[in-house]
Structure 1
């Protein structure tokens, strides 16, 4: 299954907006999972992301897909190249 990682904060309206917009892009019949990571729970993540949140990754070993606002085109390109896998 395709997976995204969203680095976020609990009090961040941009983070909530990005998560909602991302979930709305789930292709029919091909759901994906989103791991939401609270950067404030880890000082290393605060140091890395702090004011950049929300930050969205597809694969963690690749550059971010977007930050602040959802880049629907970048997400769609990622979905198009990820092979469909059984859940």
Structure 2
């Protein structure tokens, strides 16, 4: 199973846009999406504050990989999913 983590914040329209764009891939791919509010953890703020939203992907048995930030990079997502 492919898992995505979307680092976001509650008042971020780019985060909402990225989640919506990512969900458009559910017709052809099976995956889960975990939403993580960076503002709930000081370490995450230090890592991702100015980059939010940040999309991290992990395939079963694989390691986490940052796919994109700010906007969904469709080319990188398709490459990751293939």
TM-score range, shorter chain: 0.7 to 0.9
1:31-70: per-residue Cα shift (whole Å, max 9, x none)? 2100110000000000111010000011394441000000
Q: 2-side partners of 1:41 and 1:66: how far apart?
A: 21
TM-score by length of 1: 0.83
Between structures 1 and 2, the one with greater strand share: 2
Residue in structure 2 matched with residue 32 of structure 1 by the alignment: 31
Unpaired runs of at least 5, structure 1: 81-87
Alignment match of 1:64 (pick from 56, 63, 66): 66
Calculate the aligned-residue CA RMSD, in Å: 1.6
Give 1 or 2 for the bigger CA radius of gyration.
1
* Per-residue deviation, 1:13: 0.2
Correspondence for 1:46: 45
Count of residues in correspondence between the two structures: 79
Normalising by structure 2, we get a TM-score of 0.87
- CA distance in 1 between counterparts of 2:26 and 2:17 reads 15
Give unmatched runs, 5+ long, in structure 2. none
